[in-house]
Amino acid sequence: MSFKDLYAVNRIRMISLLVLEFLTSGLIIGVSYINTYQITAIKDRKWQQFIFLITLSLILFIISYAGLNVCQYWIEKQIQQYNHQIRFKIVDHYFYDNKPHNAAQVQNRLTNDLNLIKDSKLAVYTDIPYYLAQIIFASIGLLLFHWSLLIVVLILGTLSFYLPKLLRPAMQAAALKLSQANKQYLDTAEKWLDGLSELKKFSVGSQLSKIMDHASDTLESANIARRGTMQGLAVLNKATSALLQFVLLAVTAILVTNHIVVFGVIVTVESFSSYINVSVKMLATELGQIHSVDRLSREVNADTAVIEHTGDLQSPASLTTKNVSVKFSNGKIIKFPNLNIKTGEKILLTGDSGSGKTTLFKVLLGKIKLHTGMINFKNKYGDDINIDKAKIGYIPQDPILFPDSIENNITMFNSKLKNKVLDYVKNVSFESDIRKMSLGLKTELNLQKLNISGGQRQKIVLARACIHDDDFILIDEGTSAIDKKATLEILKKLLDGPYTVIFIAHNFNEKMNSLFDREIHLT
């Protein structure tokens, strides 16, 4: 995330913004310069000159105020469009990198981290021309008064610039700690709130409060630490500012007393020095802010990198496994029997709870790394392939749906499949349910209020897997919420198709079991 990238969003707008900021800053300094002669005119009782100058000042002030507002609008628009591009790239990267990403991690990256970079870096980029212009124009103004005034301001201004660099490492550490603490808090909230019902069941709500309090305290401490670092910088800036004002006032008094400069300078010179001093301090502070998120920016850049798709990815139709096992963080190891699943086979996968049925599916989907062994996927011709995991139809116990129409949830937004939807709806015994809905297939799913039953959710996902012609389908209790009569009808149609199916189920009757080619029992 750099100025070059921000500039590329809309080059014309960015150039216009920088030019307008520069000119607006000059107008503000111009108003202060005119104030010098306003005060002198009052002292000399030149009222006609005073009225002219104050009218000119008012006009310039209005123009500068309007210019600043335009700048703020352009800045926000440029940054928001840039962040929109970044969010799209991050989501695209996460989609293709084949790595596990929990919801808290993704949310933190797309919200807190981007907002932190926006405030500490992107918005600062557009401030730099404004403050540079103030330094330039104010310096010219002081030089026009007397060179000694400029020398005093530049010496002490340089001191103001370099002193804040002492706090830069602390600012970097504080920003990183805040990001990590926020991510930890979101992760803790997600994991513990998911199990809220279990906590209530066993009356251990106090444990939730204890854990959340600890996570909240960590986040609060990180915020306080960052704020304390910023306050330290503010104290340092105020000390140097007080020194500047004292020396400058003394020099100006000498110049006015000796009639080297006009009387009005004694008031205006402080404004000019303030512009320079404040601008220098702001530049130093904001440069520190930019560097404080350097590491975070590199992380975001890594998460926006384009994933190159290498090799010829194909749809699997069969597989073989050899000596496959997985190892969990607690040291537990699950070993699986060697499998030889042929093209078009219908396999019923059974086993006691904890035997690893769902784990086996996650292994096949690449969601869990192998501890030992190997898996060879093959196409319908029996050739070893690099698989396209997107072409494995996976139907979990809790189907994944989206807040859109039933039709789009089945087609997954592929308009070419719309004319086939009804056929597949019939194949999963969902047609009668659809007819009862006023909008039919156009019915919008409300995932918060759950306007469809668990069985209907499963039917949607079953239809989704079939309509996309997945050659290989994994079903994990995918009909558990559907009544046995409907399940039997669905199984007959599903297992009559050309797909290779591995089906995890409990409590199937003999009639259902007989529909499968064979059963694999895990122990």
pLDDT in tens, 244-275: 667 766 776 677 677 776 666 666 777 777 77
- Rounded to the nearest integer, the mean pLDDT of the chain is 76
Q: Is residue 47 part of a domain?
A: yes
Pair 145, 190 in one domain? yes
| CATH number (domain holding residue 225) | 1.20.1560.10
Domain boundary residue, one of 238, 268, 303:
303
Task: Say whether both 394 and 297 belong to one domain.
Answer: no
Residue-wise pLDDT for 465-491, tens only, equals: 778 777 788 888 877 777 788 888 888
CB 215 within 8 A of CB 180: no
- Describe the chain by its helix, strand, coil percentages, rounded to 5: 65, 10, 25
Average pLDDT over residues 38-59: 76
Domain co-membership, 299 together with 321: no
Q: Token pair of 274, please?
A: 């303030």
62: amino acid identity, one letter? I
Q: Does residue 327 belong to any structural domain of this protein?
A: yes
Write the burial class of residue 106 (CB in 10 Å: 0-12 exposed, 13-18 middle, 19+ buried): middle
Q: Are residues 66 and 131 in the same domain?
A: yes
Domain boundary among 303, 321, 352: 303
The per-residue pLDDT for range 215-237, each reduced to its tens digit, is 677 777 777 776 766 666 666 66
The whole-number pLDDT of residue 201 equals 47
Burial class (CB in 10 A: 0-12, 13-18, 19+), 259: exposed
- Return d(Cα 58, Cα 31) in angstroms, integer: 8
* Co-location of 333 and 298 in the same domain: no
d(CA 83, CA 342): 48
Could you give the CA distance from residue 278 to residue 281 in angstroms, rounded to a whole number? Answer: 5
Can you list the positions of beta strands (E) in 338-391? Answer: 340-341, 346-351, 372-378, 386-387
Could you read off the pLDDT of 397-444 as tens digits, one per residue? 777 777 788 888 888 877 888 888 888 888 888 888 888 888 888 888
The answer to whether residues 333 and 284 belong to one domain is no
Residue 504 pairs in a beta bridge with 349, 476
Looking at the structure of the chain, the number of domains it has is 2
Interval 115-137 mean pLDDT = 75
Confidence at 29, pLDDT banded by 50, 70, 90: confident
Q: Does residue 324 or residue 379 have the better pLDDT?
A: 324
What's the whole-number mean pLDDT along residues 198-208? 54
The reply to whether 39 falls in a domain is yes
Tell me the residue type at 410. I
CATH number reported for the structural domain that contains residue 321 in this entry: 3.40.50.300
344 by Cβ neighbours in 10 Å (0-12 / 13-18 / 19+) ranks as middle
Q: Tell me whether residue 342 is in a domain.
A: yes
Q: What percent of the chain has pLDDT over 90?
A: 0
CA atoms lying within 13 Å on the CB side of residue 382: 2
The whole domain housing 352 covers: 313-522
Separation of alpha carbons 297 and 119, rounded Å: 12
Name the least confident of 87-91, 200-204, 209-213, 436-440: 200-204
Q: Are residues 248 and 352 located together in one domain of the fold?
A: no
Structure-token pair, residue 282: 């702001």
Residue 450 falls in which region: left (phi positive, over 0), alpha (psi -120 to 50) or beta: left
Asked if 217 and 71 sit in the same domain, the reply is yes
Whether the pLDDT of residue 102 is over 70: the answer is no
The letter for the amino acid at 59 is: I
The model's pLDDT over 329-378, given as tens digits with 9 standing for 90+, comes to 888 888 888 989 888 888 888 888 878 888 888 888 888 888 898 988 88
Domain identity same for 297 and 377: no
Does the structure show a pLDDT above 60 at 309?
A: no
- If asked whether residues 292 and 336 sit together in one domain, one would say no
Tell me the chain's radius of gyration from C-alpha atoms: 34
- Claim to verify: residue 365 and residue 471 sit in the same structural domain: yes
Least confident of 8-17, 78-87, 108-117, 202-211: 202-211
| Phi, psi (degrees; rounded to nearest 5) at 503 | -120, 120
Would residue 308 count as lying in a domain? no
Structure tokens at 342: 């042929």
The least confident of 61-65, 73-77, 213-217, 457-461 is: 213-217
The distance in angstroms from the start CA to the end CA of the chain is 51
Residue 161 lies in a domain: yes
Query: According to the model, what pLDDT value does residue 130 have?
Result: 80
When mean pLDDT is compared across 24-38, 200-214, 506-520, the lowest value belongs to 200-214
Long-range contacts of 193-200 (CB under 8 A, 24+ apart): none
In single-letter form, the type of residue at position 238 comes to: K
- For residue 506, pLDDT over 70 is answered with yes
Distance of alpha carbon 169 from alpha carbon 221, whole angstroms: 18
Distance CA 336, CA 370 (A): 11
Residues 6 or more apart in contact with residue 54 via CB below 8 angstroms: 38
DSSP 3-state of 141: helix
Q: Is the pLDDT of residue 90 over 50?
A: yes
In angstroms, the Cα distances linking 501 to 42, 318, 380, 497 are 94, 10, 14, 10
Which residues sit opposite 520 in a β-bridge? 349
Mean pLDDT of the region 141-166: 71
Which pLDDT does position 95 carry in this prediction?
67
One domain for residues 224 and 299: yes
User: What is the per-residue pLDDT for 202?
Assistant: 46
Report the SS3 class of residue 242: helix
Q: Give the end of a domain, one of 303, 325, 346.
A: 303
Give yes or no for residue 189 having a pLDDT over 50: yes
**Where in 368-427 does DSSP place strands (E)?**
372-378, 386-387, 392-395
How far apart are the C-alpha atoms of 511 and 514, rounded to whole Å? 5
